[in-house]
């Protein structure tokens, strides 16, 4: 990596109507580096990436590329100059082949300006595959619609190579990839980089950034915050730059308290998805984490315990009161609450106001016929302050809020009922790191006040840090229970991926 700038971003601003997406941004991209561009959702990362690659035009400022002012009016224009972008939403044509997509706009591949030279396209595509240094085992005549997301992304990158790109910008390339696909992508990125391609990697995943980048540029709310050298930085410093404040160490958030009596007892519960019965219990003030890979049956188990899905047999007791097979309303009255995995479809009425959503569960639970608007607005205000929900008016629809604030509204809805047992299914999925830590704080506070929490999360760190006990699910079974002190990452992954449990029912 040199210190010669390939790209100089100078005082770039961008407005979309009244939205100021970028304000006076200046930084440099060095020739031959892997630069991570990071920031929370809405920070302006994609907007800047799109300005450099010709999708958008800036409102103010200029981009210098290779010493000259860059004025791209289209992505084709940028590609011709050696700049390619791989967008989050790919730009491939589904019913055309890989080779056709790659050479779509390449005049050399047409004879008399019309007839495609198919065999040459295929031959050239193979050559490009070779240049990537990775064998994806693809046939260039396969149609895009036959490919997985990771394979389509690979085609986008190959297409960038076909333009002899000097700079490739990848906008959140890992968000839809599995772990092994990310590993593949990273080796591809390293290979390209070793062959002289400068890369900009847009992301908000800290571990990935530390793994792949040389330097990091941080944006917050449309502003440039700072540049960091990856090898000299750490997660703490990066989070501080992204969020604008210290949010502490994940592992010191949860204060350990002694737990009380059994509040929730699930016995021999059989749901409609798996044959084996589930039994578990949860103490007062305890956080019980449930971890498993996607498809291990976590959400199905949570929904059947709560009563959102029908069960075949077994019992679910809250405070010694059996609620299995009863109406949801009865479970809620007994002190049960649940934040579902998919808050868009099950948790919130997105078109309705924030106020209505906060009182959703209360209204359902109330014996009163009329809602008391004044009392509601005072309570709502208190909740909004307590949970630090950022909004302009409680009468705005919920879908006008960011993901993190929507999730806080979902919490507020249940907190007003003061539940004894709360099920949280992926409580921090899709929300920014700052909001995540606030959710952790809420979970800790609830537990300290005596609420018992049953929590599913795909984020192992989160489960380990917050849980008093961890239950591990694998292929529809609860295969292991670990105490907080025993819950090590490797051990948990071992039980998640174990393929054989000996007997049929153990
Ligand atoms: N085409 C657009 N029209 C209006 N507003 C936009 C458009 N693109 C982005 N924005 C707004 O600009 C801000 C920055 O967005 P974006 O660059 O997508 O952020 P990031 O990629 O960091 O999540 C956000 O407030 C977003 O809503
Ligand atoms: Mg983006």
Mean pLDDT of 217-228: 95
Contacts of residue 504, Cβ cutoff 8 Å, sequence gap at least 6? none
Torsion of CA 381, 384, 388, 392, to 10 degrees: -80
Of 14-28, 215-229, 245-259, give the lowest mean pLDDT range: 245-259
Q: Compute the distance from residue 44 Cα to the ligand 2 centre, in Å.
A: 7
Residue to substitute in 18, 21, 85 for testing ligand 1 pocket (most ligand atoms within 8 angstroms of CB) = 21
What per-residue confidence (pLDDT) applies to 376?
Answer: 82
pLDDT digits (tens, 9 = 90+) for 74-122: 999 999 999 999 987 788 999 999 999 998 877 677 666 666 788 889 9
Atom 7 (ligand 1) nearest CA: 16
Instruction: Using DSSP, state whether 360 is helix, strand or coil.
Output: helix
What per-residue confidence (pLDDT) applies to 502?
Answer: 46
Q: Compute the distance from residue 57 Cα to the ligand 1 centre, in Å.
A: 14
Residue 503 pLDDT exceeds 60? no
Q: Rounded to whole angstroms, what are the CA distances from 18 to 14, 15, 21, 22? A: 10, 7, 9, 12
Q: Which residue has the higher pLDDT, 248 or 9?
A: 9
Helix or strand run (H / E) with residue 236: helix 235-243
Q: Characterize the bridge pairing of strands 215-220 and 60-65.
A: unpaired
Torsion of CA 83, 88, 94, 99, to 10 degrees: 30
Give the number of residues written for the chain.
506
Please give all residues whose beta carbon lies within 6 A of any atom in ligand 1, as ranges.
Answer: 16, 19, 21, 39, 41-47
Atom 10 (ligand 1) nearest CA: 21
> Residue 265: which pLDDT band, with cuts at 50, 70 and 90?
very high
Q: Compute the distance from residue 47 Cα to the ligand 2 centre, in Å.
A: 7
Atom 25 (ligand 1) nearest CA: 42
Residue to substitute in 19, 86, 170 for testing ligand 1 pocket (most ligand atoms within 8 angstroms of CB) = 19
pLDDT digits (tens, 9 = 90+) for 34-79: 999 999 888 999 999 999 999 999 999 999 999 999 989 899 999 9
Residue 126 pLDDT exceeds 50? yes
What per-residue confidence (pLDDT) applies to 345?
Answer: 66
Q: Characterize the bridge pairing of strands 215-220 and 223-229.
A: antiparallel
CA–CA separation, 479 and 506 (whole Å): 9
- CATH H superfamily, domain 5-246: P-loop containing nucleotide triphosphate hydrolases (3.40.50.300)
Which atom of ligand 1 approaches the CA of 44 most closely? Answer: 17
Atom 24 (ligand 1) nearest CA: 42
Q: Which residue has the higher pLDDT, 28 or 402?
A: 28
165, 9, 169, 177: which is closest to 85 by C-alpha? 169
Contacts of residue 93, Cβ cutoff 8 Å, sequence gap at least 6? 100, 101, 104, 144
Which atom of ligand 1 approaches the CA of 172 most closely? Answer: 21
What per-residue confidence (pLDDT) applies to 252?
Answer: 79
- CATH H superfamily, domain 251-348+419-497: P-loop containing nucleotide triphosphate hydrolases (3.40.50.300)
Phi/psi region, residue 62 (left: phi>0; alpha: psi -120 to 50; beta: rest), is: beta
Q: pLDDT averaged over the chain? A: 89
Query: Token pair 């990771």 is at which residue?
Result: 150
CA–CA separation, 349 and 489 (whole Å): 37
Q: Compute the distance from residue 58 Cα to the ligand 2 centre, in Å.
A: 16
Residue to substitute in 37, 41, 47 for testing ligand 1 pocket (most ligand atoms within 8 angstroms of CB) = 47
Which ligand number lies closest to the CA of residue 242? 1
- In sign, the C-alpha dihedral spanning 464, 470, 472, 473 is negative
> Residue 434: which pLDDT band, with cuts at 50, 70 and 90?
confident
β-bridge partners, 227: 217
Structure tokens given for 494: 């071992």
Mean pLDDT of 13-23: 92
Residue 6 pLDDT exceeds 60? yes
Q: Compute the distance from residue 431 Cα to the ligand 2 centre, in Å.
A: 13
Share in percent of the chain as helix, strand, coil (round to 5):
35, 25, 35
> Residue 506: which pLDDT band, with cuts at 50, 70 and 90?
very low
> Residue 146: which pLDDT band, with cuts at 50, 70 and 90?
very high
Atom 12 (ligand 1) nearest CA: 21
Extents of the domains making up the chain: 5-246, 251-348+419-497
Mean pLDDT of 204-228: 94
Q: Which residue has the higher pLDDT, 95 or 255?
A: 95
What per-residue confidence (pLDDT) applies to 113?
Answer: 61
Residue 76 phi, psi dihedral angles, 5° rounding: -65, -45
Atom 8 (ligand 1) nearest CA: 47
Which atom of ligand 1 approaches the CA of 17 most closely? Answer: 4
Which atom of ligand 1 approaches the CA of 47 most closely? Answer: 17
For the whole model, what pTM was predicted?
0.69
CA–CA separation, 465 and 440 (whole Å): 9
What per-residue confidence (pLDDT) applies to 377?
Answer: 83
Tell me the chain's radius of gyration from C-alpha atoms.
26
Residue 322 pLDDT exceeds 80? yes
Q: Compute the distance from residue 450 Cα to the ligand 2 centre, in Å.
A: 39
β-bridge partners, 15: 20
């Amino acid at each position: 990596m040199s210190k010669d700038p390939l790209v100089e971003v100078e005082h770039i601003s961008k407005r979309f109507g009244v939205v100021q997406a970028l304000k006076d941004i200046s930084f440099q991209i060095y020739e031959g580096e892997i630069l991570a561009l990071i920031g929370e959702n809405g920070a302006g990362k994609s907007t800047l990436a799109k300005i450099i690659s010709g999708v958008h035009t800036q409102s103010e400022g200029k981009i210098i590329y290779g010493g000259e002012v860059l004025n791209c009016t289209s992505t084709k224009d940028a590609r011709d100059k050696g700049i390619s972008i791989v967008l989050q939403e790919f730009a491939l044509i589904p019913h055309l082949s890989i080779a056709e997509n790659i050479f779509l706009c390449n005049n050399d591949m047409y004879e008399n300006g019309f007839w495609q030279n198919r065999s040459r396209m295929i031959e050239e595509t193979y050559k490009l595959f070779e240049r990537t240094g990775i064998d994806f085992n693809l046939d260039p005549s396969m149609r895009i619609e036959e490919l997985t997301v990771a394979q389509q992304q690979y085609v986008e990158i190959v297409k960038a190579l076909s333009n002899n790109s000097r700079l490739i910008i990848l906008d959140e390339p890992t968000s839809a990839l599995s772990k092994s696909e990310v590993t593949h992508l990273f080796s591809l990125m390293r290979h390209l980089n070793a062959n002289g391609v400068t890369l900009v990697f847009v992301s908000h995943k800290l571990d990935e950034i530390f793994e792949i980048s040389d330097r990091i540029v941080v944006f917050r709310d449309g502003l440039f915050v700072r540049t960091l050298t990856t090898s000299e930085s750490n997660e703490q410093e990066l989070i501080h730059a992204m969020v604008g404040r210290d949010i502490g160490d994940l592992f010191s958030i949860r204060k350990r308290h002694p737990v009380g009596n059994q509040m929730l007892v699930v016995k021999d519960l059989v749901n409609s998805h798996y044959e084996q019965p589930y039994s578990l219990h949860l103490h007062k003030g305890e956080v019980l984490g449930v971890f498993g890979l996607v498809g291990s049956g976590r959400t199905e188990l949570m929904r059947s315990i709560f009563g959102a899905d029908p069960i075949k047999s077994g019992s679910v007791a809250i405070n010694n009161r059996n609620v299995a097979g009863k109406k949801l309303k009865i479970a809620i009255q007994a002190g049960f609450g649940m934040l579902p995995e998919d808050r868009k479809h099950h948790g919130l009425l997105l078109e309705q106001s924030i106020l209505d959503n906060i009182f959703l569960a209360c209204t359902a639970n109330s014996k009163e016929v009329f809602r008391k608007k004044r009392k509601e607005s005072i309570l709502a205000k208190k909740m909004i302050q307590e949970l630090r929900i950022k909004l302009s008016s409680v009468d705005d629809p919920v879908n006008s809020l960011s993901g993190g604030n929507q999730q806080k509204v979902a919490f507020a809805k249940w907190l007003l009922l003061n539940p004894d047992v709360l099920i949280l299914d992926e409580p921090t999925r899709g929300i920014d790191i700052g909001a995540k830590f606030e959710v952790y704080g809420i979970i800790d506070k609830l537990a300290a006040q005596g609420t018992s929490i049953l929590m599913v999360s795909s984020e192992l760190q989160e489960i380990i840090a917050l849980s008093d006990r961890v239950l591990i699910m694998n292929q529809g079974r609860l295969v292991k229970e670990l105490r907080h002190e025993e819950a090590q990452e490797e051990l948990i992954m071992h039980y998640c991926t174990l393929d054989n449990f000996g007997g049929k029912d153990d």
